[in-house]
Amino acid sequence: MTLEKGQYGYDLERLQKYYSTIELVAGASRVVLVPELQGRVMTSSTSGAKGFSFGWINHELLGTSQLSETFNPFGGEERFWIGPEGGQFSFYFEKGKPMEMQNWRVPEAIDTLPWDVIEASQETATFQKAFRLKNYSGTNFHIEATRRVSIIDPIEIEEYLPIKMDESVRVVAYESLNQLKNAGASDWIKETGMPSIWMLSMYQPSPEVTIVVPFKKEGEGLVVTDDYFGKVPSDRLKVDDGVIYFKADGKFRSKIGVSPERALPTLGSYDDKNKCLTILICSLDSTSTDFVNSSWVEFQDEPFRGDAINAYNDGPLADGGQLGPFYELESSSSAAALKAGEVKMHFQQTYHFEGDEKSLNSIAEKLLGVSIRQIKSNLEHR
């Protein structure tokens, strides 16, 4: 079988060349995980080896021994990170250094360190790692992170979601249960900083991909934060009747966020070129509004007034280089106010549907509240 770039089997073969892999299988759907890369989901397929590969993978970095001290963008369509990224409680900047790209450092435990495999089968795999982090303010954290990923059988999709799928629609789906444990002797409190579970999903960008983020129209405060890396131009971001549309072409570095007061647990994207609809559903914490603030400033007046939902479109950096290109759908837990020995959980489900526009339309309307036509028309595809 000759496999081409863009197909799941092509990516799987190259991952297996450099890493141990765990493949989850249900019918024709596939999900591949790599323990050496924190048990992240690297990619998935609705149709075995020849199917479209949903995750963005940086083939140039696979197996490299020349690791960057800053960040190694291996890719992967679901990875475990820890917030916040910026502010006085950041885990990504050293105290005294300006919060600029050249000083940004992703902790090894969530970038390059292998995680231990606790269990692995054809349906489920569990990974774990104990590590220590110091935040920008100098507080030390002793953390134990656990992550369990399970594939969802396509024949059970309608038990998970309030949809009726046409028989022609192909789907791959999985869920992850992610846990932070305070493995130290000191409680995690607001005064010295509290981490959060931060899930990021890297996908293939295209001028024909639009990110769709429904929000609470009756919620309080700002609808969307759109100035993480400078204001997002109006031809790339639109807000219309309870839904945010964000361009995901991988050509303009930009990020948006939705506060817990406005956020809903469901977001997604539509790829008009490949006729695929991605849906992400997370366990949005309704009991707390304390979400870490990841804005890149040395001191934040409100370090726990951050976003629950984010989306990122990659693009060229100031020096002309680029991490990707890719785009990301992101979700976060609330801040982990944990006493010694306590745990914090964050749950996420990912669904990729492939089919004709008519078949996908009913799914989009049910889960995102908008039609495929509305998604396509709100941001011009060119």
DSSP per-residue codes, 310-328: EEEE----TTS--S-S-EE
Residue 77 DSSP class: S
Q: Which two tokens stand for residue 219?
A: 């919620």
Q: Judging by beta carbons within 10 Å of its beta carbon (0-12, 13-18, 19+), is residue 185 exposed, middle or buried?
A: exposed
What is the side-by-side order of every strand in the sheet holding 237-240? 116-120, 124-134, 140-152, 170-182, 343-354, 276-282, 266-271, 209-214, 243-247, 237-240
Cα 42 from Cα 14, distance rounded (Å): 11
318 falls in which pLDDT band (50, 70, 90)? Answer: confident
Assess whether pLDDT exceeds 90 at residue 199: yes
3-state secondary structure of 344: strand
Contact between 76 and 40 under an 8 Å Cβ cutoff? The reply is yes
Query: Which is nearest to 213 in space by CA: 204, 202, 223?
Result: 223
Assess whether pLDDT exceeds 70 at residue 174: yes
- The number of beta carbons lying within 10 Å of the beta carbon of residue 328 is 23
Cα 279 from Cα 259, distance rounded (Å): 19
Contact residues for 257 (Cβ-Cβ < 8 A; gap 6+): 224, 225, 228, 306, 307, 309, 310
Query: Which is nearest to 280 in space by CA: 345, 380, 368, 210?
Result: 368
Residue 52 DSSP class: B
Assess whether pLDDT exceeds 90 at residue 286: no
Buried b or exposed e, range 83-115, using 16+ CB within 10 angstroms: bbbbbbbbbbbeeeeebeeeebbbbebbbbeeb
| Mean pLDDT, rounded, for 40-48 | 98
Report pLDDT digits (tens) over 216-242: 999 889 999 998 888 999 999 999 999
Cα 136 from Cα 130, distance rounded (Å): 20
Lowest mean pLDDT among 19-33, 61-75, 108-122: 61-75
- The number of beta carbons lying within 10 Å of the beta carbon of residue 288 is 13
Assess whether pLDDT exceeds 50 at residue 2: yes
How confident is the model at residue 381, as a pLDDT?
55
320 falls in which pLDDT band (50, 70, 90)? Answer: confident
How confident is the model at residue 382, as a pLDDT?
47
Cα 184 from Cα 354, distance rounded (Å): 45
Cα 264 from Cα 262, distance rounded (Å): 7
Buried b or exposed e, range 305-321, using 16+ CB within 10 angstroms: bbbbbbbbbbbeeeeee
